[in-house]
Structure 1
Amino acid sequence: MRNVLRKIGLSAMAAAGAVAFGLAAGPVAAQQNNEALRFVLVSHAPNGDSWWNTVRNAINEAGERVNAEVEYRNPPNGDLANMARIIEQAVASRPDGLITTIADYDVLEDPIRKAVQRGIPVITINSGTEEQSAELGASMHVGQPEHYAGLKAGERAKEAGVTRFVCVNHYITNPASVERCRGYAEGLGVELGDQMIDAGIDPTEVQKKVAAYLRQNPDTNGILALGPNSAHPTIRALKDLGVAGKVHFATFDLSDPIAAAIQAGVVDFAIDQQPYLQGYMPVVTLALYSRYGLMPANNIRSGPGFVTKENVDLVKELAGRVR
């Protein structure tokens, strides 16, 4: 496995170098002696969100490749006001680069702008849009267009015959999560209304809420979960209700239980935004910029990709680590 990861890492680094252009050197671009760099990645995820483990694996791998220490920081309970304070603290520590999500533009705009104003290179990842990233002055965005990903999922669900759905949203305070649900509804050709559950992240509560919704709306024939935190309890709810495999079920992101559910025919497909890329590419890119003033001229769209029963075996072994 280590050799596989090393090959992936070196290939990603080569790709970043191949598309980079020689831009004007920033205030830290003179560090061409390969001295150790320090970057900070701030995510919006609470401590219990296992999806981010893949991102953390990626930043550790990339840090080893480019001689950089990469600190991962997050609000333990997912509070975005706390995330803004964490970004401010990171900026005050004067890192060589900042990587952050744009979980809520209005909440995070000020601390991200302060980083840019202080000459700290910023790359945004995951949440937020390419347009928001540019507006904030970030160098680039690495992630999945969330509305578009939801739209494509909804179009696939419509082709499968879905007419009435529920979107299980475990992080409703993140506007990007709502865009996933809204895009899915648009793909089906309907308006997003009361089909979205504010599920929270407690597994027992998510399971109860999904089961209650399906009992109250027995004509529901499509489910969209927004990640493992909502997908895992939904799988259990479907099994308890005796309808596993009988309701079209799509989810964002991968995990071992989700891959197993795809193989079993309980989950129809998972939307893969390739979190490893979201962690790895910003670290490599910031290192190239810090040492040589090189920065890709384009954003990196890491998704959406679709994992189905036909191709799940190709990614199952790496789920939760690299996929």
Structure 2
Amino acid sequence: MRFVMIPKAVHPWFDKANNGAQSAAQLLSKATGRTITVEYRAPQTADVSTQNDIIERAIATHPDGLILDLLDEKGNRSTMQEAVDEKIPMTVFDSLPPEGMDITAVGADFCEQGTLAAERLAKLIDHKGEVAIMMGVPTAPNHALRARCELKVFAKYPDIKVVATGIDNDSIETAQKQASAIMQAHPNLGGWVACDAAGPVGIGQAIRESDKVGKVKEVGLDNLSDMLQLIKDGVVDSSASSRPEMQGYWAVIAAWQKAMGQQTPKNIDTGIDIITKATLSK
């Protein structure tokens, strides 16, 4: 059996998810005595048309299932409908399926993840001051949901003002440049949250390069090695992390079950970890 896994872009977070996917394929092959493979096809950048082209090429090979992380719920819908028409099962991970499509979603509770990060930042800045949000890929369902929930948290506190938002399109370099520009434009900025895994790394780099460590607080997302190092170095306070390896693993398990004709749950919640310097020292 052959599955095709298509993430948002080439990115260290998705490398972790792919590691989990390959582990699941190995386990299933061993358990069933049948070769199970996962082909990993990542767009070079977070571009919807490029991702759709990759999905269409995958559909043409008639795999036993597609495992997708959507860049744009609306922009991906028609291509996904092609898979439905070809009776190719789909599973999404780190994302939400288009409304009305009966597709299992594997991932964290994205609203909870954004809420946890925003509440931690609010506490760090004593519930007052200027904050900014790095939005990731605004059309991505999970990034957009985190952003909405972060904004909802900040709206609860009358003395917190969201003064800027950046768009990094899942690029650490873009996030670093945008964060630097925003901090120059808002010298009284007190803190940052983000909506993707690349954003908080770029923000942390910008905080360090701007000599604002300790002056500008950051609560990040996810568990990239650069993110963990920024926490260890005291540049970033903490991270509300999803579990990419687990998402990749369970996405393959769900895709395999669906390919075997089994019913699968609407959602598989892989949980959230709060990572701090203290948890990293254990």
- Which TM-score band (shorter chain)? 0.7 to 0.9
Residues 10-32 of structure 1: CA deviation (Å, up to 9, x unaligned):
xxxxxxxxxxxxxxxxxxxxxxx
Q: How does 1:251-270 map to 2 (within 5 A)?
A: 251-270=220-239
Residue 50 of structure 1: aligned partner: 12
The structural deviation recorded for 1:273 is: 1.1
Residue 84 of structure 2: aligned partner: 116
Kindly provide the amino acid, as one letter, of the partner of residue 113 in structure 2. Answer: A
Residue 168 of structure 1: aligned partner: 134
Task: Pick one of 85, 95, 111 that aligns with 1:127.
Answer: 95
Residue 123 of structure 2: aligned partner: 159
Task: Pick one of 18, 37, 41 that aligns with 2:5.
Answer: 41
What is the rounded CA distance, in whole Å, between the counterparts of 2:201 and 2:257 in structure 1?
Answer: 39
Task: Pick one of 188, 199, 202 that aligns with 2:154.
Answer: 188
Q: How does 1:1-323 map to 2 (within 5 A)?
A: 37-45=1-9, 47=10, 49-67=11-29, 68-128=36-96, 132=98, 135-138=100-103, 140-160=104-124, 161-163=126-128, 164-189=130-155, 195-200=164-169, 203-291=172-260, 293-313=261-281
What is the rounded CA distance, in whole Å, between the counterparts of 1:192 and 1:91 in structure 2?
Answer: 46
Secondary structure, aligned partner of 2:240? strand
Q: Tell me if the contact between 1:44 and 1:78 (Cα under 8 Å) persists in the aligned partners.
A: yes
Residues 189-228 of structure 1: CA deviation (Å, up to 9, x unaligned):
2699652112456655533332221122122111113445
Q: 1:142 to 1:205 in 2, by over 3 A?
A: closer
Secondary structure, aligned partner of 2:142? helix
Q: Tell me if the contact between 2:73 and 2:139 (Cα under 8 Å) persists in the aligned partners.
A: no
Secondary structure, aligned partner of 2:12? coil
Structure 1: unaligned runs, 5 residues or longer:
1-36, 315-323
Residues 150-192 of structure 1: CA deviation (Å, up to 9, x unaligned):
1222122223324321112343453532332222121122699
The structural deviation recorded for 1:77 is: 2.2
RMSD: 2.5
The sequence identity of aligned pairs, in percent, is 24
The structural deviation recorded for 1:85 is: 2.1
Q: 1:277 to 1:84 in 2, by over 3 A?
A: same
Q: Tell me if the contact between 2:194 and 2:221 (Cα under 8 Å) persists in the aligned partners.
A: yes
How does the TM-score come out when normalised to structure 2? Answer: 0.85
Secondary structure, aligned partner of 2:213? coil
Residues 243-266 of structure 1: CA deviation (Å, up to 9, x unaligned):
213322111111222112222322
Q: Tell me if the contact between 1:171 and 1:177 (Cα under 8 Å) persists in the aligned partners.
A: yes
The count of corresponding residues between Structure 1 and Structure 2 is 271
The structural deviation recorded for 1:280 is: 0.6
Q: Tell me if the contact between 1:149 and 1:303 (Cα under 8 Å) persists in the aligned partners.
A: no
